[in-house]
Structure 1
Amino acid sequence: GTHQVRVQVKACGLNPLDFKLLSDMGIQRDLIPVGREVAGVVLQVGPKVSFFQPEDEVVGILPLDSPCSGLCDIIDIDEHYLVQKPEKLSSVCVAGALRDGLCAYTALHTHARMAAGHTLLVMDGASSFGLMCIQLACYHGVKVLTTSHSPQTHTFLEKLRPSVGLSRLDVYTRVISMANGSLDLLPVVLEETGGLGVDIVIDSGVRLQEEDESEEIKLLPHKHDIISVLGVGGHWVTCNQELQLDPPDCRLLHLKSACLSFLNPEVWTASSAQQGRYLHILKDIVEKMSAGILRPQPEEAVPRYEATVAMETVQHQQKKKAVVQL
């Protein structure tokens, strides 16, 4: 194609498919592309391609309606979905972490307008997405509080403290255990913020009801807890696309002049309105990963013949992900 590049895929990341989103977008097909986070090498370029040359290493995310999957040896993709990959960054590392990096940037920069001196609460900081949020916020001088769901994740987050944020060791301050539900959340947050509450909350799912819920859901904070820990003018970024707020919740948000944003990581490739900003974000993510500012948890790559099993696991356990090396 005129603006397309032909890429030999080296690695791709597997993430859960959102069938409801595909339906809403009007994408009704028998075959849905998986492994859309790709890293590879340019083989050929179209006549009007200006960003890349053959043998360039590239990384990007295939659009929702892509005709091909990232699990192909060779794919043709529009140049405006790709950025250059730094040499010292491995294909497996960037394919596994690109989506989480994009989500962290969207939540903190695009939605919450993060700035130095803000206070941030990241729910479930040991998740791959939570880890990216913590590292990105510390780099920008934001004071970070986070929660853990088990003794193992609590220890991991405590050990993370000396290395995160490079020279800004004072900004990553407290890990709050959620093993007993969210009983400790409000008092600890108020203690850490001098009773003012936090400027930004990023959740990894919330409870909408108090009773009759599984053990896994009981570890999530209730929506009222999150609104309670927000400070005046605070910003809540939620990953829960089915969030419902009752009039008392809205009243509390109104009293705090706080706002709520929904995090949809697909919005960048589903709309061409801010293509330049999207490419700038992708470029910044790979540069920060290359410089060691963002250090994702390493994902063990699986060979292509295990991709089907890996994709089934990822689809049924929504917080899991996998990287396939080709």
Structure 2
Amino acid sequence: MKICSVMKGLYCRAVSDAEPKFVIQEMTLPDVLTSHQVRVQVKACGLSPLDFKLLRDVGMQRDLIPVGREVAGVVLQVGPKVTFFQPEDEVVGILPLDSSFSGLCEVIDTDEYYLVQKPEKLSSVCVAGALRDGLCAYSALHTHARMAAGHTLLVTDGASSFGLMCIQLACYHGAKVLTTSHSPQNHTFLEQLRPSVGVQDPLVARVIPVYNSSSDLLSVVMEETGGLGVDIVVDSGVHLHEEEEEVESEEKKLLPHKHDIISVLGVGGHWVTSHQDLQLDPPDCRLLYLKSASVSFLNPEVWTASSSQQGRYLHILKDIVEKMSSGLLRPQPEEAVPLYEATVAMETVQRHPKKKAVVQL
């Protein structure tokens, strides 16, 4: 079967020193699939902010950058050497950085190695909106921090979509979880979190409010850990300097200071940071050295940017969708937006990286 048609997708035209512009462009499907390619009819696509600095660093500067990479859909056609899938299989995956297709095209071509089977009971909208956060949580806790049962974990901003995935995954593996809340509503939400199956104890051992003028993060963590500190800290950004507070937004003012993070780490602890430009001064390094603690940088793009651990990456994706299907991982529900609102939704996501958006095709 040959399919040759023109598709419309969302792309970003990046202009230096100017706001990125999102435009609808036409994309032509090739007549024939290559050896390991799969043709997929997209049912839902998750939108995440574009990291222009990362794209420049890895040499992927293009006039038009495809938008929307977390996709869920149905296989229409497979290449001659494809072994993982058959037509009509439901699949989900994350398109690679160098993909020429926007996930908002009705039909896309991609290698079979970027996709996994989607469980039948898991909705396309749910998995497309949460797959990236699930991958980040797995990378932070398993790949970087080597989490094990009995560990104590601090997750900053636990009510965020990424933080919620970290909390649920850590509790499933028997870790004690502490988290911070950025508003009274988030505080109540986190205190009421319960597992979907098993014993109905709270998922979070202690919720620490940081939306007040003064934060008791260090004292509360030390109280909860008997003065030993936590084994793992996973942040969603940090403050580097005290004077930053005067110029930054209210949202960023709620981020912990790097010294607070280092102070709450226990001996041999792991700090997994999402802060790309983290700067550690000699006193910070000295404190980490005294604790024999480590710092890891969470870059979710590294899995698709390098093929050295492709099998492990696919195993992680498969485990995420299976746990979501069984209810062990319950992402925050996202209301899907129609395709004609995709441009506005992407502009919002690009300005506010913590906001999520899912487009239903």
Instruction: Report Cα offsets for 1:93-128 as digits up to 9, x if no partner.
Output: 000000000000000000000000000000000000
1:89 to 97, 100, 122: 122
Higher RCO (C-alpha 8 Å, min separation 6): 1
Q: CA deviation at 1:31?
A: 1.2
Instruction: Report Cα offsets for 1:120-168 as digits up to 9, x if no partner.
Output: 00000000000000000000000000000111110111111x3367437
Structure 1 counterpart of 2:276:
241
1:59 to 89, 92, 112: 92
Q: In the aligned structure 2, how far is the partner of 1:54 from the partner of 1:217?
A: 46
Say whether 1:281 aligns with 2:316: yes
Structure 2 counterpart of 1:104:
137
Q: CA deviation at 1:34?
A: 1.1
Say whether 1:150 aligns with 2:203: no
Q: How does 1:15-164 map to 2 (within 5 A)?
A: 15-160=48-193, 162-163=194-195
Instruction: Report Cα offsets for 1:142-201 as digits up to 9, x if no partner.
Output: 0000000111110111111x3367437366310000013563000100000010000000
Structure 2 residue identity aligned to 1:245? L
TM-score, normalised with respect to structure 1: 0.98
Sequence identity percentage? 82
Instruction: Report Cα offsets for 1:12-33 as digits up to 9, x if no partner.
Output: 0000000000001101111111
- 1:135–1:165 CA contact under 8 A, matched in 2: no
Q: In the aligned structure 1, how far is the partner of 2:109 from the partner of 2:213?
A: 48
**CA shift in 2, pair 1:274/1:320, >3 Å:** same
Q: What SS does the corresponding residue of 2:162 show, helix, strand or coil?
A: helix
Structure 2 counterpart of 1:213:
247
Greater shift, 162-171 or 98-107, is seen at: 162-171
The two structures, once aligned, show a CA RMSD in angstroms of: 1.2
Greater shift, 227-236 or 216-225, is seen at: 216-225
Q: What SS does the corresponding residue of 2:88 show, helix, strand or coil?
A: coil
Give the gaps of 5 or more residues in structure 1.
Answer: none
Structure 2 counterpart of 1:199:
231
- 2:167–2:203 CA contact under 8 A, matched in 1: no
Structure 1 counterpart of 2:340:
305
Considering only CA atoms, is the larger Rg found in Structure 1 or Structure 2?
A: 2
Structure 2 counterpart of 1:179:
211
- 1:139–1:165 CA contact under 8 A, matched in 2: no
Greater shift, 168-177 or 310-319, is seen at: 168-177
Q: What SS does the corresponding residue of 2:288 show, helix, strand or coil?
A: helix
Structure 2 residue identity aligned to 1:209? H
Q: What SS does the corresponding residue of 1:240 show, helix, strand or coil?
A: coil
Say whether 1:8 aligns with 2:8: no
How many residues in Structure 1 have an aligned counterpart in Structure 2? 325
Q: In the aligned structure 2, how far is the partner of 1:159 from the partner of 1:170?
A: 7
Q: In the aligned structure 2, how far is the partner of 1:7 from the partner of 1:246?
A: 49
Instruction: Report Cα offsets for 1:209-258 as digits up to 9, x if no partner.
Output: 11233333221110000000000000000000011000000000000000
**CA shift in 2, pair 1:32/1:181, >3 Å:** farther
Q: What SS does the corresponding residue of 2:146 show, helix, strand or coil?
A: coil
- 1:166–1:293 CA contact under 8 A, matched in 2: no
- 2:190–2:204 CA contact under 8 A, matched in 1: no
Give the gaps of 5 or more residues in structure 2.
Answer: 1-33
Say whether 1:294 aligns with 2:326: no
